[in-house]
Amino acid sequence: MEPLALLLTATGMDNPEDRARTVAAAKAGDLQAFELLLRQHERLVLATALRLLGNLDDAQDAAQEVFLKLHRNLAKVQLSGNLTAWLYRVTVNVCHDHHRRRPETTAIDEAGQLPGTAADPHQELADAERKHALDLSLRRLSERERTALVLRDLEGLSTAEVAAALGSTEATVRSQISKARVKMKKFVDHYFRRRS
Amino acid sequence: MNCPEWEERIALYGGGDLPPNEMAETDRHLAQCAPCREFAQGVNWSLAIVRSAHSEPIPPAAFTALRARVLEQLARERRPPWRLAWIVPLVAAAVLTVTLVLPRRVAPIRTAVTPPPAPLFEPVAPATDEPITPKRPPRARRRPKPRAPAEPLMVKLITDDPDVVIYWIPN
């Protein structure tokens, strides 16, 4: 492994300067530096794609496309300096394209497919219920509402950051988020009341 | 809930997305409206549930597979120039073969071809004002001189590796 990559692996690359150096190294053709960027941001991209698309296979396809786009556009990313915002924006666009290519019914067919991680069977069941509720409630939202809610409430972006990722205004995003929260609240109420 | 006009504002209030003045206004409403307080609690509860579901880890194998797919694709995109490098000497050898070997083989066959028989009647040209130029007598075809037996042809292929040189002697 290159010294730069070793150093950044050890430090966790929290420093923006480190990140800029890694982006520069990756742009110069250092695949290990690019792998480091990939490791740093894979959770962000894959988790967002999973919530937007509803199943892991499609999310992996989308995430792969996002990282290949990142590799081709390292120069732009280096200039903009905000890799995270760029990745959210591209992930959302790739997932929207994916939706357009595939009908909604097949996109979220395998909702709740992630295997449980809890040792306690009761806990595992509860986790599975929550995941199922999450996936089903996301299905009931429009594409824009779902994206706004995923970025704001699940990924924790600010309203301004969501607006930037969606190419929209903060007022529009707030409206989408509020509608999405109301729909989600009603669905979650209904879901757990029916099961209790 | 008795106040549907407050629904969306309360939903924003739950996530802390209201501007300060609307926040205070919503606070005052919630203080005096029990159904809206219940609605606000429901929003917070559903948000907590979906957040906890989302925060559960994705299996590490999914990340490993993603990384492998991306890096494999990048490696594949880089490969073509090197993968096609072997074509260069092959094309060179093919060009050499065509230019050096084939003419020798084809030449004797050409000499055996006889000219087509002369027509019995000369076609009559239409009357024109243009002066008629006399026809040249047909040239006698030269017979190729018998060649001395050619030396065996040898093609030398130089590879990227200086220790490897390929000699090819066709029959």
pLDDT tens digits, one per residue of A44-84: 999 999 999 988 999 999 999 999 999 999 888 776 668 88
SS3 of chain B: CCCHHHHHHHHHHHCCCCCHHHHHHHHHHHHHCHHHHHHHHHHHHHHHHHHHHHHCCCCHHHHHHHHHHHHHHHHHHHCHHHHCCCHHHHHHHHHHHHHHHHHHHHHHHHHCCCCCCCCCCCCCCCCCCCCCCCCCCCCCCCCCCCCCCCCCCCEEEECCCCCCEEEECCC
Taking only residues 80 to 109 of chain B, the set having a beta carbon closer than 8 angstroms to any beta carbon of chain A reads: none
B11 vs chain A: nearest CA distance in angstroms? 5
> So what's the pLDDT on residue B149?
66
Residues of A in contact with B59 (CB under 8 A): 114-115
- For residue A1, name the pLDDT band (cuts at 50, 70, 90): very low
- ipTM computed for the complex: 0.79
**Chain A residues near any Cβ of chain B (below 8 Å):** 31, 34-35, 38-39, 42-43, 46-47, 50-51, 56, 60, 63-64, 67-68, 71, 114-115, 117, 127, 130-131, 133-134, 137, 152-154, 159, 174-175, 177-179, 181-182, 184-185, 187-189
Of A149, A156, A117, the closest CA to residue A134 belongs to A149
Q: Is the pLDDT of residue A181 over 90?
A: yes
- For residue A4, name the pLDDT band (cuts at 50, 70, 90): very low
- For residue B165, name the pLDDT band (cuts at 50, 70, 90): confident
User: CA torsion angle for A49, A52, A58, A61 (degrees, to 10)?
Assistant: -30
Name which of A39-53, B40-54, B79-93, B125-139 the model is least confident about. B125-139
Mean pLDDT of A116-140: 77
Residues of A in contact with B75 (CB under 8 A): 31
More confident residue, A119 or A113: A119
Q: Is the pLDDT of residue A25 over 60?
A: yes
- For residue B57, name the pLDDT band (cuts at 50, 70, 90): confident
